[in-house]
Amino acid sequence: MTSAEIIAAIENQFSEAVIENEDMADHQVELDSAHWFDIATFMKNDPNLSFDQLECITGVDPGEDSQLQTRYNLHSMEYRHKIEVVIRHDRENPKVESIEQLWRIGDWFERETYDMYGIIYEGHRDLRRILCPDDWEGWPLRKDYEGQESYHGIVVPKIKEEEGWE
């Protein structure tokens, strides 16, 4: 199936779930975060879509005063088609349903995105930091992140600000 057909199939099942967004490329679709678990279940189990492989979960912070995003790259081993799902979260209170029990790799991918962006995946059975230490403060990959000054008495070096790249 092409991306357009996949999007149509989702829209057919969940009307109003697909959010129109001009920034999305052809292979991307933005979905409403409210029904994400149901849509994901449908995408995995529907015999025509059969997305059995979760390739990657990427967190994105488009910059200050904008909403955080989680991007899911899904692939079907059976039909060899793929789609990228984009879900936006409120910056102050980023929350979305976890899909960890659908695709088991979602467990670690979601922990990593939580670790880096502080996005809460509701329903995740073991949501804690994975790469950073448990007592690390802040969400390192957010654009407005400021590192802590010291960690257990060790001074954390700062990246020097340089004047542009031109």
Our finding on whether 141 is near other proteins (CB under 8 A) is: yes
CB of 108 to other proteins, least distance (A): 4
Q: Which of 120/132 has CB closer to other proteins?
A: 132
Q: Which residues contact 17 (CB under 8 A, 6 or more apart)?
A: 10, 11, 31, 32, 35, 39
Give the span between the Cα atoms of 18 and 78, in whole angstroms. Answer: 24
Site string for other proteins, 19-58 (x = CB under 8 A): ------x--x-----------------------xxxxx-x
Per DSSP, helices labelled H in 20-125 are 36-45, 106-117
Residue (14 or 73) nearer to other proteins, CB: 73
- The answer to whether 68 contacts other proteins (rule: CB under 8 A) is no
Q: How many residues of this chain bind other proteins (CB under 8 A)?
A: 29
